[in-house]
Amino acid sequence: METELKFEMDAAAAGALFKRLDLDAEGEARELRSIYFDTPGIELHADGMTLRIRDDGRKRIQTVKQSVNNGFRRGEWEAEVEGPGPDLKAAAGTPLSGAIGRRKARTLAPAFETRIERTTRDIRIDGALIEVALDRGVVEAGGTDQAILELELELKQGPPEALFVLARELAGVASLNLSFTAKAERGYALLRGQGLSPVHASDPVLDRRASAGEAFKSIAVTALAQIADNARVLRRVRRIEALHQARVGARRLRSAISLFKPMLKDGRLETVGTELKWLTHELDDARNLDVFITDTFRPASRRHAEWPGMATLGQALIHAQTEGYDRAVAALSSERFRTLTLETAAWIETGPWTTSDDPALAEPRERPIRKFAAEILAKRRKIIARRGRKLAELEPRPRHKLRIQAKTLRYACGFFAGLYGGKDDRLGGFRTAMEDLQDALGAAVDITAAETLAARLADDNAEIAYAAGLVGGERAARGDKALKAAEKALRRFKVAKPFW
C-alpha cells in the first residue's frame, strides 16, 4: 500500500525546494522512462488500474497500481521483469491477474509514456521515514505532450501525520499546489485529446464492511480531489465547466461534512467549514453570471434583439463575468487556497476526529457504514418532506435552504448507492425523483437569483437597468410554472420507495 502526497509547482518553487532539500549534495538523480500499457478499449483504466514498466537504465520494474478509495493510499505491486513488455506471471496475485484474461492480455499495448528526471532523498521526521522525490519531465500520448514538475512525498514507514508535518515545512519555502492528478491520468487525458479538461464528480466504491469513519475519508478525498483538479485547470485556462465542477466539489465536501457531522466535531471542524465557505463564496459570482448569461440573457437576446439596451447589457454582463473569473482564479491561485487544501487533507486523514476516544465521536465513527448511511438517508428524507410543506408559500431564503437540503440528499444517494446492491429499481426510481426535485427547486431559486443579479447590474446605467428589468421580468414570469413543477416533483419524491 502506497501512502503519498503530491504537489505541483513552478520552476521558481522547484529551485527553492532543490536548495532547501540540499538535493545537490544529498539527492540521488535518475533518468526514468515509463511505458504505460492498456487494451485497445482502455479497460484497465476503466477498472481503476494502471500497468507500467519503468526503466531506470539498470533494471525494469513492472508496477500495477489500483485506486482503493482509501484516503491518500493506493494499492501498489512491483516486480522486476526482463523484457520491455508486460509479464503477467510477475503480476500473479495482483488485481491485474483477476481483471484480465489471456485473450485480453494479448491485446495489451503501449498507450503512452513518461520521461522523468527524478531526484530523491530520504528524510526522517517525527518518527517517520519519507522519500522526497522532485520530478521534472514530460508525458507523451497521441502525438502530444505535457510538462511535468512535481514533488512527491511517500511515506516509507511511520505515522502519516509526519507527511503533513514535512509538507507544511516545505510549503513555507515554496508555493505548492496539492495535486491528485497522477502521471497516468495525465497520459490518459492526452490520449483522449483532453489535456486540460474539467474533472467531474466520481463517487467512491465503498466497502460494505467499512466503518463510517473509513467511508467518510473516501468520500471526502474524492471531493477534495475534484476541487484541486479543477483549480489546476482554471489556473491555466478559464473554462465554465471547470469552475462549475470546482464549486460542485466544494459543495460535495461540505455536504459530506454535514452528513457525517456527529463524528467530526473536533477542534478543527469549524476552521475547515469556514474555509470551504470562503472558497464557495469566491466562486459564486462567476458561476451565477455563467448561469444568468446562459439560461436567461442569451435566450432573451435571441428572442428580443430589438429591445433597447440589450447590447449594452450584454457588454456589462461580459465585463462582470470577467471580473468574477478574475476573483475566482485569484482565490484558486492564493496562499489561502493552498493552505485550505493541505490542511483539509491533513484533517481528513489525521485530524483529531480520526483517533478521539470521546464516545460522542468514536461511537459513530466506528459504526458500520451501511447502518450509518441508512439512518442518514432516512433522516434527510424526512427533513425535506417536512420542510417542503406549503412549498409555494415559502419565502426565497427557506426555499433556498430546502434546495440545499435536496442537493445534500442527492449527493448522499451517490455516496451510498453502492452499499445497497440488489435494489437497483428502487435506487433508480428514488434517484430520479431526487434529481427532479433538486432541479425543479433549482429552477425556482434561480429565478430569484436572476432578479437579484439584474438589479445589481442596473445600479448605475439607465439603459442597462431598462434591459435588465425586461430580461429579469420575463424570467420572473415563469416563476409560477417553476413552483408548480417543484411541487409536483416533491409529491413524486414523497412516494418514491427508499433503496436502503
How many domains does one find in the chain? 2
275 and 191 share a domain? Answer: no
Cα 286 from Cα 234, distance rounded (Å): 12
190 and 273 share a domain? Answer: no
CATH number at residue 144: 2.40.320.10
* SS3 labels along the chain: CEEEEEEECCHHHHHHHHHHCCHHHHCEEEEEEEEEEECCCCHHHHCCEEEEEEECCCCEEEEEEEEEEECCEEEEEEEEECCCCCCCCCCCCCHHHHHCCHHHHCCCEEEEEEEEEEEEEEEEECCEEEEEEEEEEEEEECCEEEEEEEEEEEEEECCCHHHHHHHHHHHCCCCCEEECCCHHHHHHHHHCCCCCCCCCCCCCCCCCCCEHHHHHHHHHHHHHHHHHHHHHHHCCCCCHHHHHHHHHHHHHHHHHHHHCHHHCCCCCHHHHHHHHHHHHHHHHHHHHHHHHHHHHHHHHHHHCCCCCCHHHHHHHHHHHHHHHHHHHHHHHCCHHHHHHHHHHHHHHHHCHHHCCCCHHHHHHHHCEHHHHHHHHHHHHHHHHHHHCCCHHHCCHHHHHHHHHHHHHHHHHHHHHHHHCCCCHHHHHHHHHHHHHHHHHHHHHHHHHHHHHHHHHHCCCCHHHHHHHHHHHHHHHCCHHHHHHHHHHHHHHHHHCCCCC
Domain that holds residue 451: 269-495
pLDDT at 1: 63
Placement of cell 484497465 in the chain: 44
188 and 302 share a domain? Answer: no
294 and 157 share a domain? Answer: no
Max distance between CA atoms of the chain, in angstroms, equals 76
Q: Residue 214 falls within a domain, yes or no?
A: no
Q: Residue 227 falls within a domain, yes or no?
A: no
pTM, entire model? 0.91
Mean pLDDT (the chain, rounded): 91
Span 299-311, pLDDT tens digits: 888 888 888 888 8
Span 248-287, pLDDT tens digits: 999 999 999 999 999 999 999 999 999 999 999 999 999 9
176 and 277 share a domain? Answer: no
292 and 189 share a domain? Answer: no
9 and 145 share a domain? Answer: yes
CATH number at residue 320: 1.40.20.10
Question: End of a domain among 195, 228, 246?
Answer: 195
Placement of cell 500499457 in the chain: 37
Span 455-476, pLDDT tens digits: 777 666 788 888 887 877 777 6
Span 67-117, pLDDT tens digits: 765 556 678 899 999 999 999 899 988 988 877 877 778 899 999 999 999
- Phi/psi zone of residue 143: left (φ > 0), alpha (ψ -120 to 50 degrees), beta? left
Q: Residue 235 falls within a domain, yes or no?
A: no
Mean pLDDT, rounded, for 113-130: 96
Higher pLDDT, 14 or 302: 14
Question: End of a domain among 195, 229, 258?
Answer: 195
Q: Indicate the burial class of 89 (C-beta count within 10 angstroms; 0-12, 13-18, 19 or more).
A: exposed
485 and 367 share a domain? Answer: yes
Q: Residue 343 falls within a domain, yes or no?
A: yes
184 and 298 share a domain? Answer: no
Q: Residue 60 falls within a domain, yes or no?
A: yes
DSSP 42-95: -HHHHTTEEEEEEE-SS-EEEEEEEEEEETTEEEEEEEEESSSS--TTTTTTSH
Q: Residue 248 falls within a domain, yes or no?
A: no
171 and 273 share a domain? Answer: no
17 and 148 share a domain? Answer: yes
Cα 353 from Cα 372, distance rounded (Å): 17
Q: Residue 230 falls within a domain, yes or no?
A: no
DSSP 80-98: EESSSS--TTTTTTSHHHH
pLDDT at 301: 87
pLDDT at 460: 67
Question: End of a domain among 195, 224, 244?
Answer: 195
150 and 277 share a domain? Answer: no
Q: Residue 58 falls within a domain, yes or no?
A: yes
Span 300-344, pLDDT tens digits: 888 888 888 888 889 989 999 999 999 999 999 999 999 999 999
DSSP designation for 10? -
